[in-house]
Amino acid sequence: MTGPFRPAGPAPTAPRTFATPTADVRELAVAGCFLFTPRVYRDRRGMFVSPLQDEAIVRAVGHRMPLAQTNHTRSARGVVRGVHFTTAPPGQAKFVNCVRGRAKDVVVDLRSGSPTFGALDTVELDAESFRGVYLPDGVGHAFLSLEDDTVMSYLVSTPYRAELEQAVDPLDPALGLPWPDRGRFTLSDRDAAAPSLAEATARGLLPRYEDCLALAEERRRATHAGC
């Protein structure tokens, strides 16, 4: 799926998919983003699931997911959070899944110079399938809570630094995010005041694709050095 601001380019290739013994993996429309569907093991006691698995992450993105911090949000139905991204460098890779309720999760490529710049993709995350989304540095993230008390879990590669956290208006028509009903959303003051895509571009806030690739290459080298 592409947003209306995406420039013309070559036709997208078929998404890469593969399976490990414990998860199915599918590449999303934004380069470097992947959807992970883990096996859920259920019995009379309840269930067990492992949403993030090193083997699947390394096979998909080429390096391990460094972990600096874990975050959780709890949202009422109709809450929109995002579109958020982190200045790169240092950037921030994320693994996001839903541990309670349901959410419409959106990834959008804000990396200037990316071959999928402007592309977006949406998936529904919930506490039944425990699907998770991996986002590389520079990719914008947002979600809409579809139920009250929806809890989202984030594993992130860098610690929180307020001065590096950026946002773009999730209701900006230029982004064209596929929200079902724009009139019923609840946004934070920060997100409501976030710049439009055009304003963020003019202010030099959008990350550069080449910088994001360099960050990923550093992680690949660290992964192989630790093998």
| Domain harbouring 177, CATH code | 2.60.120.10
Length of the chain: 227
Residue 209 located in a structural domain: yes
Residue 183 located in a structural domain: yes
Give the Å distances, CA to CA, from 96 to 5, 113, 204: 25, 25, 27
Residue 100 located in a structural domain: yes
Give per-residue pLDDT as tens, 43-95: 999 999 999 999 999 999 999 999 999 999 999 999 999 999 999 999 999 99
Residue 23 located in a structural domain: no
- Please give the residue range of the domain that contains residue 109: 66-225
Residue 219 located in a structural domain: yes
> Across residues 194-207, what is the average pLDDT?
96
Residue 129 located in a structural domain: yes
Catalytic residue numbers, as ranges: 84, 154
Confidence band (pLDDT; 50, 70, 90) for 182?
A: low
Is this model's pTM higher than 0.85 or not?
Answer: yes
Give the Å distances, CA to CA, from 185 to 121, 191, 196: 20, 11, 17
Confidence band (pLDDT; 50, 70, 90) for 183?
A: low
Residue 214 located in a structural domain: yes
Our count of domains for the chain comes to: 1
